[in-house]
């Protein structure tokens, strides 16, 4: 149905408590990209909030394929959301609920070419989020506040730092740096989202002989890097030209960033 005709009950726990999880999948020319990896993460997120749901019982693969075909778009942004369900408003759930499952299909966003050819500017910010960022929760208020504050100050996004100035991620993307020819990214932990694109790029680097490691990256290391880029399913890769007004490298997308960009359909 058209988006404007879709409705959920007022007492859906996703609406009232952000009690749910989600996943974003991109389809290129009608083919979902890294679908198995996304659905596996969706199951991990559901398990992480003790949803008690076997996602494979939902036939999401078939629904996603049908939705992509019916959308009429070549490149599609698929959004999957699962909430705990509908019940009277109270914090504790005393009965078994039927989860609410919603999928939407929109045209994949088309970004200005200069975002990849020139890169984006980021700022840094403190971490105000909850401590289970590896769960792809729909409770994104802190991320929204971080993103909006950065946009208001003229930045594309903000890199989130720990109290010790350790780099985590941005409000909606993973962070990579290249130092002395080595591709580095913060290790997978509860402090960051285990990005599907992040994992894909690490696999690509291994296959193509690009030295890489998951390791702690602090702000000083990042600012002295030759290249920095951010990744997510919806943006693929955006090079970073500056952080807090400090130019990264020569301020242009570097050779490893450009090489990895070619790994994505339609970015070759």
| Residue 212 main-chain phi, psi, to 5 deg | -150, 155
Per-residue pLDDT of the chain (268 residues; tens, 9 = 90+): 888 899 999 999 999 999 999 999 999 999 999 999 999 999 999 999 999 999 999 999 999 999 999 999 999 999 999 999 999 999 998 888 999 999 999 999 999 999 999 999 999 999 999 999 999 999 999 999 999 999 999 999 999 999 999 999 999 999 999 999 999 999 999 999 999 999 999 999 999 999 999 999 999 999 999 999 999 999 999 999 999 999 999 999 999 999 999 998 866 4
Point out the residues that are catalytic.
136
CA–CA separation, 223 and 251 (whole Å): 12
Residue 249 Cα to chain centre, angstroms: 25
Return the pLDDT at 267. Answer: 63
The H or E element spanning position 80 is strand 76-83
C-alpha R_g of the chain: 19
The DSSP bridge partners found for residue 121 are 242
Q: Identify the residue whose tokens are 């090079």.
A: 239
* CB 261 within 8 Å of CB 116: yes
Return the pLDDT at 94. Answer: 80
Strands 100-107 and 76-83: antiparallel
CA–CA separation, 213 and 199 (whole Å): 12
Please, which residues have CB within 8 angstroms of residue 224's CB and are 6 or more apart in sequence?
Answer: 179
CATH topology of domain 3-107: D-amino Acid Aminotransferase; Chain A, domain 1 (3.30.470)
| Residue 121 main-chain phi, psi, to 5 deg | -105, 135
* CB 124 within 8 Å of CB 146: no
Class of domain 114-261: alpha beta
Please report how the helices 196-207 and 35-48 are oriented relative to each other, as an axis angle in degrees rounded to 10. 130
The DSSP bridge partners found for residue 216 are none
| Residue 260 main-chain phi, psi, to 5 deg | -70, -30
Please report how the helices 35-48 and 60-71 are oriented relative to each other, as an axis angle in degrees rounded to 10. 120
Q: Give the DSSP letter of residue 181.
A: T
Strands 157-161 and 120-126: parallel
CA–CA separation, 157 and 148 (whole Å): 8
Q: Where along the chain do its domains lie? A: 3-107, 114-261
């Amino acid at each position: 149905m058209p988006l404007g005709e879709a409705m959920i009950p007022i007492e859906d726990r996703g609406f009232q408590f952000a009690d749910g999880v989600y996943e974003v999948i991109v389809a290129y020319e009608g083919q979902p990209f890294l679908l198995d990896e996304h659905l596996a993460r969706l199951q991990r997120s559901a398990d992480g909030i003790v949803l008690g749901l076997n996602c494979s019982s939902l036939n999401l693969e078939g629904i996603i394929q049908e939705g992509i075909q019916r959308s009429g778009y070549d490149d599609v942004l698929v959004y999957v959301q699962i909430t705990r369900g509908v019940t009277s408003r109270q914090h504790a759930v005393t009965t078994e609920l039927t989860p609410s499952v919603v999928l939407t299909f929109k045209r994949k966003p088309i970004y200005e070419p200069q975002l990849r050819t020139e890169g984006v500017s980021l700022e840094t910010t403190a971490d105000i989020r909850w401590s289970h960022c590896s769960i792809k929760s729909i409770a994104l208020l802190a991320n929204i506040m971080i993103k909006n504050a950065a946009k208001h100050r003229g930045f594309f996004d903000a890199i989130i730092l720990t109290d010790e100035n350790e780099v985590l991620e941005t409000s909606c993307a993973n962070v990579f740096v290249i130092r002395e020819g080595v591709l580095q990214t913060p290790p997978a932990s509860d402090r960051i989202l285990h990005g599907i694109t992040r994992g894909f790029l690490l696999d690509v680097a291994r296959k193509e002989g690009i030295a890489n490691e998951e390791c702690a990256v602090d702000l000083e290391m990042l600012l002295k890097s030759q290249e920095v880029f951010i990744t997510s399913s919806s943006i693929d890769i955006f090079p970073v030209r500056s952080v807090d007004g400090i130019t990264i490298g020569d301020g242009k997308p570097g050779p490893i960033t450009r090489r990895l960009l070619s790994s994505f359909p339609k970015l070759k």
